[in-house]
């Protein structure tokens, strides 16, 4: 079945914030909700658009702050994860970084240091 047009699922954004996180190979981020955007933005469920570069990471997500109930998805270099609409207030975090999992060209040709870069684009 063809994927639905995302515009029918999530509102579009004009991002005016980019949060940049760099994780060393021992880096972690505890389960949290992203709630620093405006009430209007949160109320409309405007999505967070997350781009991963470098080493792969285990991304946890769930409806509660309970790590044991959270699901996991591995985010690889180049992956874009979008959460918005009914999922805008999910708890999420990073439980581990897989050392040496980045594409070799990133290290060899771009001089990317070991670890993971994450950029999240948001509309305040």
Provide the phi-psi class of 77: left if phi over 0, else alpha when psi is between -120 and 50, else beta.
beta
3-class state of residue 104 by DSSP: helix
**89 touches, from ligand AKG, Fe ion, none (C-beta below 5 to 8 Å by class):** none
Nearer to ligand AKG, 108 or 116 (CB): 116
Applying CB under 6 A, the residues found at the interface with ligand AKG are: 19, 21, 29, 34, 50, 59, 92, 94, 118, 120
The minimum distance between CB 120 and Fe ion, in angstroms, equals 7
Annotated binding-site members for Fe cation? 32, 34, 92
């Amino acid at each position: 079945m063809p994927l639905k047009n995302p515009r029918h699922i999530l509102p579009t954004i004009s991002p005016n914030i980019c949060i940049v996180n760099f994780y060393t190979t021992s880096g972690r981020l505890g389960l949290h909700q992203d709630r620093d955007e405006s009430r209007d933005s949160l109320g409309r469920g405007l999505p967070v658009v997350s781009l991963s570069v470098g080493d792969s990471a285990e991304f946890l997500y769930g409806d509660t702050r309970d790590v044991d109930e959270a699901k996991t998805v591995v985010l690889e270099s180049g992956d874009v994860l979008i959460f918005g609409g009914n999922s805008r207030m999910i708890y999420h975090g990073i439980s581990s970084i897989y050392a040496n999992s980045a594409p070799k060209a990133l290290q060899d040709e771009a001089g990317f240091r070991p670890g993971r870069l994450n950029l999240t684009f948001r509309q305040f």
